[in-house]
C-alpha cells in the first residue's frame, strides 16, 4: 500500500462539477489500495476576492486579521470535497490547519511551515478515512491563523508529503506539467518530462507560478517524489528530480517572468558606509523582501541613486517605511514604478557555458526592449523591463535559446 498526497489547485476545484470530478480522481487512487491525503486550494477567484475585501477596508492591514479572512477559501473547498467523497461512498474527513496542527512561524501573509503533527491524520488513516486538508493555512505559536503566501497550497502539500513520508506528491493543476515557459503566453512552449529540483527552484523563484518556491525547496530538502500533472486529462506530467536523474542537460531549460514586481528608486542617497544597511534593515524587519538592487557610482563621491525591486503587494509598506525614515536616510527623492516585469532565463548548463547572458541582451535589443535592472545567479539571468513588453520578450527569448516546439 502506498501513501499518496494529491493536491488540487484553484481551477481544478473551480466549481461544484469540478470538485465532483476531483472526488473521482481521489477515489481511483483509493481504489488502487492506497492511503490518500488530499490538499485543496480555494476555488478559483475566491482568494483574490477575499484579499479585495481586506484591501477595501485597510490597505495597510493587520496581517493577523488578513489571514483570518484569506485562509477561509480553502476551508470551504475542504468541506465540499469531503462531502463529495462521502457522496460517492468513501469515508472522508477534513482537518483544518489548526486541527492537525500545521505549525508556522509568525510572518502573517507569508508564514513558513515549521512542523506538521501527523498523529490525527494517521488516526484517520487507521479508520480507513481519506483526509482532506485545506492548503495555504497553518497556525502560529500564539495560535493565530496564518497563511503561507500566494500559491502556498503547493507548499502545504509537499510539507505534508514530507511529514508523512509519502511515496508521492502529485500536484494537479490546469496545465499538463512544467513547460519551457508559461504555455498561456508562449504557444510554442513544450512540456518537460523531467526538470531538476535546482532548475525548478530558480524557475519558481523568478515567477513560474506552477509551483510555489517554498514547495520546491521543501521537496528538495526532504527528497519528496514530486510531479506536476493535469487535473483534466490522464497524460503524463513532469517529474521534479535530482540532477543525476536527468540524462541530457539543456543549456537553458526555461524562460520565466514575474509581473509581481515594483521598482523603487531613491535619488541622491548619501554615499557612505552603513547607508544600505539603514535602508534595507527596516524593510527586512517588516518582512519586505528586496530582490534586485542596483546602486550607481556617485559622480561627486557624496550621493548616489539606489534602485531596487519589491513585490507589488509590499510597495505601499515599503514607501511608508522609507518616508518615515527620510530624515535618517537623507535621500532627496523617492519614486516608484509598478509597470515593470522581471524576465529570466534559467538553466544549469549556464555553469559551463559562456554567452548565455549576452544572447539574452542582444535578443531584447533586437526587439527594441530596454533593460532597466539586471541580476544573475549561477544558473539564471534576470532583467527588469517595461511590463508592456512581457509577451514580446518571453517569446523572443524562447526562440533565441532554441526552445520553440516544432
Give the residues lining the site for Mg ion (CB under 5 A).
Answer: 9, 151
Name which of 320, 357, 325, 319 is nearest 338 in CA terms. 319
Q: Which does 178 bind (CB under 5 to 8 A by kind): ligand ADP, ligand ASP, Mg ion, none?
A: ligand ADP
Torsion of CA 39, 41, 42, 48, to 10 degrees: 160
Residue from 4, 8, 10, 197 that binds ligand ASP (CB under 6 A)? 10
Binding residues among 236-295 for ligand ADP as defined by CB under 6 A: 254
Does residue 182 touch ligand ADP according to CB under 6 A?
yes
**In the complex, what is the shortest distance from the CB of residue 89 to ligand ASP, in angstroms, rounded to a whole number?**
28
Binding footprint of ligand ASP, residue count (CB under 6 A)? 13
Backbone angle region of 45, left / alpha / beta, with phi > 0 → left and psi within -120 to 50 → alpha? left
Q: Which does 73 bind (CB under 5 to 8 A by kind): Mg ion, ligand ASP, ligand ADP, none?
A: ligand ASP
**In the complex, what is the shortest distance from the CB of residue 6 to ligand ADP, in angstroms, rounded to a whole number?**
12
Residue from 151, 152, 237, 347 that binds ligand ADP (CB under 6 A)? 151
Q: Are 199 and 346 in contact (CB under 8 A)?
A: yes
Does residue 73 touch ligand ASP according to CB under 6 A?
yes
Residue from 40, 121, 124, 181 that binds ligand ADP (CB under 6 A)? 181
Judged by beta carbon, residue 124 or residue 158, the one nearer ligand ADP is: 158
Residue from 47, 75, 173, 213 that binds ligand ASP (CB under 6 A)? 47
Does residue 14 touch ligand ADP according to CB under 6 A?
no
Does residue 104 touch ligand ASP according to CB under 6 A?
no
Does residue 11 touch ligand ADP according to CB under 6 A?
yes
Binding residues among 141-170 for ligand ASP as defined by CB under 6 A: 150-154
> Angle, nearest 10°, between helix axes 356-366 and 390-400?
130
Judged by beta carbon, residue 41 or residue 180, the one nearer ligand ASP is: 41
Does residue 109 touch ligand ASP according to CB under 6 A?
no
Closest residue to ligand ADP: CB criterion:
9
CA–CA distance, 134 with 42 (Å, rounded to integer): 8
**In the complex, what is the shortest distance from the CB of residue 184 to ligand ASP, in angstroms, rounded to a whole number?**
16
Torsion of CA 169, 260, 288, 46, to 10 degrees: -60
For the sheet containing 194-196, what is the strand order? 92-94, 130-134, 35-40, 3-8, 168-173, 226-230, 238-241, 194-196
What are 145's strand-pairing partners? 139
Q: Which does 150 bind (CB under 5 to 8 A by kind): ligand ASP, Mg ion, ligand ADP, none?
A: ligand ASP
Residue from 30, 42, 113, 340 that binds ligand ASP (CB under 6 A)? 42
Does residue 167 touch ligand ADP according to CB under 6 A?
no
CA–CA distance, 259 with 396 (Å, rounded to integer): 17
Judged by beta carbon, residue 37 or residue 283, the one nearer Mg ion is: 37
3-state secondary structure 212-253: CHHHHHHHHHHCCCEEEEECCCCCCCEEEECHHHCCCCCCCC
Does residue 134 touch ligand ASP according to CB under 6 A?
no
Task: Name the site residues for ligand ADP (rule: CB under 6 A).
Answer: 9-12, 41, 151, 173-175, 178-179, 181-184, 208-210, 254
Task: Name the site residues for ligand ASP (rule: CB under 6 A).
Answer: 9-10, 41-42, 47, 73, 135-136, 150-154
Amino acid at each position: 500500500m502506498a501513501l499518496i498526497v494529491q493536491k488540487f489547485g484553484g481551477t481544478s476545484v473551480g466549481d461544484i462539477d469540478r470538485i465532483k470530478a476531483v472526488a473521482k480522481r481521489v477515489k481511483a487512487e483509493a481504489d488502487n489500495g492506497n492511503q490518500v491525503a488530499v490538499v485543496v486550494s480555494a476555488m478559483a477567484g475566491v482568494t483574490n476576492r477575499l484579499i479585495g475585501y481586506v484591501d477595501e477596508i485597510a490597505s495597510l492591514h493587520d496581517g493577523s486579521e488578513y489571514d483570518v479572512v484569506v485562509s477561509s477559501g480553502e476551508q470551504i473547498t475542504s468541506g465540499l470535497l469531503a462531502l463529495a467523497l462521502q457522496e460517492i461512498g468513501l469515508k472522508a474527513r477534513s482537518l483544518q490547519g489548526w486541527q492537525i496542527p500545521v505549525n508556522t512561524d509568525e510572518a502573517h501573509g507569508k508564514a513558513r511551515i515549521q512542523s506538521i503533527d501527523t498523529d490525527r491524520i494517521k488516526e484517520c488513516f487507521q479508520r480507513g478515512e481519506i483526509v482532506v486538508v485545506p492548503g495555504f493555512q497553518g497556525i502560529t505559536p500564539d495560535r493565530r491563523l496564518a497563511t503561507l503566501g500566494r500559491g502556498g497550497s503547493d507548499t502545504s502539500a509537499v510539507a505534508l508529503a514530507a511529514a508523512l513520508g509519502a511515496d508521492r506528491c502529485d500536484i494537479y493543476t490546469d496545465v499538463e506539467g512544467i513547460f519551457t515557459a508559461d504555455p498561456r503566453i508562449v504557444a510554442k512552449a513544450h512540456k518537460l518530462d523531467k526538470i531538476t529540483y535546482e532548475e525548478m527552484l530558480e524557475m519558481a523563484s523568478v515567477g513560474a507560478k506552477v509551483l510555489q518556491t517554498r514547495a520546491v525547496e521543501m521537496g528538495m530538502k526532504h527528497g519528496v517524489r514530486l510531479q506536476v500533472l493535469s487535473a483534466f486529462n490522464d497524460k503524463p506530467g513532469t517529474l521534479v528530480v535530482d540532477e543525476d536523474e536527468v540524462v541530457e542537460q539543456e543549456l537553458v531549460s526555461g524562460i520565466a517572468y514575474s509581473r509581481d514586481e515594483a521598482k523603487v528608486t531613491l535619488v541622491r542617497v548619501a554615499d557612505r558606509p552603513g547607508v544600505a544597511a539603514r535602508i534595507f534593515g527596516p524593510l527586512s524587519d517588516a518582512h519586505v523582501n528586496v530582490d534586485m538592487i542596483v546602486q550607481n557610482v556617485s559622480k561627486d563621491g557624496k550621493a548616489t541613486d539606489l534602485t531596487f525591486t519589491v513585490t507589488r503587494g509590499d510597495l505601499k509598506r515599503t514607501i511608508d517605511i522609507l518616508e518615515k525614515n527620510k530624515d535618517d536616510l537623507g535621500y532627496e527623492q523617492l519614486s516608484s514604478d509598478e509597470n515593470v516585469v522581471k524576465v529570466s532565463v534559467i538553466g544549469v548548463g549556464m555553469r559551463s557555458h559562456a554567452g548565455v547572458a549576452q544572447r539574452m541582451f542582444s535578443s531584447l535589443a533586437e526587439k527594441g526592449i530596454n533593460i532597466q535592472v539586471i541580476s544573475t545567479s549561477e544558473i539564471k539571468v534576470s532583467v527588469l523591463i517595461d511590463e508592456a513588453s512581457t509577451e514580446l520578450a518571453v517569446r523572443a527569448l524562447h526562440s533565441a535559446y532554441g526552445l520553440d516546439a516544432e
